[in-house]
Amino acid sequence: MGRLTTHVLDTAQGRPASGVGVALFSLRPERRLIAEASTNADGRLDAPILDSDAFAPGVYELVFQAGDYFRATLSNLPDPLFVDEVVLRFGIAEADQHYHVPLLVSPWSYSTYRGS
């Protein structure tokens, strides 16, 4: 069976982003919360956020609470933040694959890719 993993890297401070809240939603047939977790000291979740029988093709969203993390770790940030809650919408096409969706984030930008 496949699995979905993620991690968060703080590109402003050059380190893993610890304590970032992450929520996973399924979008079909309607938006539904599937799981919530928080990143560990390595910026990763302690377990896949989706795996086993629950892992299925479809359209999903990962929602990262990056703004809360930056408010706790940096000072002199603008209000409102330029990057706050980061929403990544993506598709899972193959139920037997490992999908890794990392987030590289700063208070001013973010990027992602399908990792390994």
Query: Is the sign of the CA dihedral 52, 41, 60, 97 positive or negative?
Result: negative
Find the helix or strand (DSSP H, E) in which 63 lies. Answer: strand 58-65
CA 103 from chain centre, in angstroms, equals: 6
Phi, psi of 94 (to 5 degrees): -125, 120
> What's the pLDDT tens digit per position in 40-94?
999 999 999 999 989 999 999 999 999 999 999 999 999 999 999 999 999 999 9
Amino acid code (one letter) for 72: A
Say what the pTM is. Answer: 0.96
Provide the residue ranges of all domains of the chain, joining segments of one domain with +: 3-112
CA–CA–CA angle 28, 29, 32 (5° rounding): 70
Considering the domain 3-112, what is its CATH architecture? Sandwich (2.60)
Amino acid code (one letter) for 15: R
Distance CA 67, CA 86 (A): 8
